[in-house]
């Protein structure tokens, strides 16, 4: 069962919201409604978040991210649609039941985390537990642990104004962690921080997540942050989710020109992984090494490969091996079994322009899609590898 499930969620602000939803269902867009003084903040949002996942919602200011997040913990009631948390329909709960779920199972971390200035860091971190009525000794113990997890050991007795902005934000994180909530909702939680501290917080969250395996919905307008943190990413535009997928999906096969434009400045070579772009091992069979030896088996491919990498290797690490050999790089699993190959042509192709939806349609009509594009290219690459000037390829990259 998914931890969190949003089904056809709508949130309309203004007069006669239900009528507005009806119009949206019939194809009206945000601008048409705005003319009547009605704001369609979220339009027909559906997605699931699995236990232990970081689900990122990304979009420009005003695209509806915060509104969507507030519906996930029941702070805002959807105009239409449902939110299920562990299978339970949040929209069907009474106000009291909802408060209970919100205080025990869901924690929220905001962009500007408001700490109580006259409470120690420890008491600030323990605040959520205090609201739950947890006795002092117990809540101090749990808050102390949470502060340590958030990298604030030793600061328990300090006052908030003795902490830097980044540290204060960590107190917010500690407060959320202390409650043992399974679901963390983070709204631009790192956006107010300096770039270096922000990166540090992202690392820390990923590190924490390895141990705690919470389910996290993380909102950001920063694409690089989305790509670093998200197991899956939903891209929002004007109230609608226009694409949901992994970082690789969004980079390699953007759903439309808007997403393509949004992602054009991302450093693909660091986001894309060997596993995301590799082709079936069989595609290398029949190709030849520069010395003219034909590759027939997985072992031949492994022997001839200029490098052997794991599926999660960023493709930036494949350039040097690919530049020195026309033979595909081998991708192996933890047991050393060959699971894929990355031919040089494939590596160069994914760094180029993302495929437009028109290209993708063409793929559907028979031309190989990116993930399957390698067979033809692998053969091409191998065929031309013998006489191809290596320097030319690098210059082209």
287 binds Mg ion (CB under 5 A): no
SS3 80: strand
Shorter beta-carbon distance to Mg ion: residue 235 or 355: 235
Q: How far is the CB of 283 from ligand ATP (least distance, A)?
A: 42
Shorter beta-carbon distance to Mg ion: residue 66 or 283: 66
Shorter beta-carbon distance to ligand ATP: residue 13 or 285: 13
Alpha-carbon gap, residue 115 to 40, rounded angstroms: 32
The option from Mg ion, ligand ATP, none interacting with 170 (CB < 5 to 8 A, set by class) reads none
Shorter beta-carbon distance to Mg ion: residue 66 or 360: 66
Q: Closest Cα partner for 78 from 138, 132, 7, 19?
A: 7
- The tokens for 237 are 């535009």
Cβ-proximal residue to Mg ion, closest one: 66
Q: How far is the CB of 308 from Mg ion (least distance, A)?
A: 44
How many Cα atoms within 13 Å fall on the side-chain side of residue 355? 22
Q: How far is the CB of 244 from ligand ATP (least distance, A)?
A: 16
The option from ligand ATP, Mg ion, none interacting with 160 (CB < 5 to 8 A, set by class) reads none
Asked if 80 and 10 count as a contact pair (C-beta separation under 8 A), the reply is yes
Q: How far is the CB of 111 from Mg ion (least distance, A)?
A: 8
How would you label 376-388 residue by residue, b for 16+ Cβ within 10 Å and e otherwise? ebbbebbeebeee
Shorter beta-carbon distance to ligand ATP: residue 31 or 161: 31
5 binds Mg ion (CB under 5 A): no
Asked if 132 and 176 count as a contact pair (C-beta separation under 8 A), the reply is no
SS3 177: helix
- Scanning 65-73, 192-200, 262-270, 285-293 for contacts with Mg ion by CB under 5 A, the matching segment is 65-73
Alpha-carbon gap, residue 193 to 167, rounded angstroms: 10
Shorter beta-carbon distance to Mg ion: residue 66 or 263: 66
Alpha-carbon gap, residue 308 to 306, rounded angstroms: 7
C-alpha pair distances (Å), 141 with each of 123, 160, 174: 11, 19, 12
Q: How far is the CB of 11 from ligand ATP (least distance, A)?
A: 8
The option from Mg ion, ligand ATP, none interacting with 198 (CB < 5 to 8 A, set by class) reads none
Binding footprint of ligand ATP on the chain (CB under 6 A): 13, 39, 41, 59, 61-67, 221
Residue appearing with tokens 């200029």: 306
- Summarize as ranges the residues that interact with Mg ion (CB under 5 A): 66
């Amino acid at each position: 069962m998914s931890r969190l499930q949003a089904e056809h969620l709508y949130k309309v602000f203004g007069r006669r919201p239900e009528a507005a939803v009806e119009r949206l269902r019939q194809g009206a867009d945000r601008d048409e409604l705005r003319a009547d003084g009605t704001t369609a903040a979220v339009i027909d949002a559906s997605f699931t978040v699995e236990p232990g996942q970081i689900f990122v919602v990304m979009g420009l200011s005003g695209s509806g991210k915060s509104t969507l997040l507030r519906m996930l913990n029941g702070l805002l009631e959807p105009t239409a649609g449902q939110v299920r948390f562990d299978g339970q329909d949040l929209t069907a709960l009474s106000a009291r039941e909802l408060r209970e779920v919100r205080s025990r199972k869901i924690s929220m971390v905001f962009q500007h985390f408001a700490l109580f200035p006259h409470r120690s860091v420890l008491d600030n971190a323990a605040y959520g537990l205090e609201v739950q009525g947890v006795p002092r000794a117990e809540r101090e113990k749990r808050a102390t642990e949470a502060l340590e997890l958030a990298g604030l050991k030793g600061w328990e007795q300090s006052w908030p104004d003795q902490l830097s902005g980044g540290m204060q934000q960590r107190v917010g994180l500690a407060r959320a962690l202390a409650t043992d909530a399974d679901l963390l909702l983070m709204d631009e939680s790192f956006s107010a921080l300096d770039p270096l501290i922000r990166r540090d917080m992202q690392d820390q969250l990923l590190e924490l997540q390895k141990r705690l395996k919470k389910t996290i919905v993380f909102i950001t307008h920063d694409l690089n942050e989305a790509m670093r943190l998200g197991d899956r990413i939903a891209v929002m535009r004007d109230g609608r989710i226009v694409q949901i997928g992994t970082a690789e999906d969004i980079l390699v096969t953007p759903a439309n020109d808007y997403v393509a434009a949004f992602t054009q400045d991302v450093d693909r070579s660091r986001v894309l992984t060997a596993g995301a772009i590799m082709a079936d091992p069989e595609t290398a069979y029949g190709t030849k090494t520069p010395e003219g030896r034909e590759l027939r088996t997985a072992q031949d491919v492994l022997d001839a490969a200029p490098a052997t990498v794991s599926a999660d290797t960023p493709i930036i690490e494949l350039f040097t091996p690919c530049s020195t050999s026309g033979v595909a790089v081998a991708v192996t699993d933890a047991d050393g079994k060959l699971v894929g190959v990355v031919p040089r042509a494939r590596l160069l192709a994914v760094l180029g322009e993302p495929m437009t939806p028109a290209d993708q349609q063409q793929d559907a009509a028979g031309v190989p899609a990116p993930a399957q594009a390698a067979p033809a290219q692998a053969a091409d690459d191998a065929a031309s590898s013998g006489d191809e000037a290596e320097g030319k390829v690098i210059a082209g990259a």
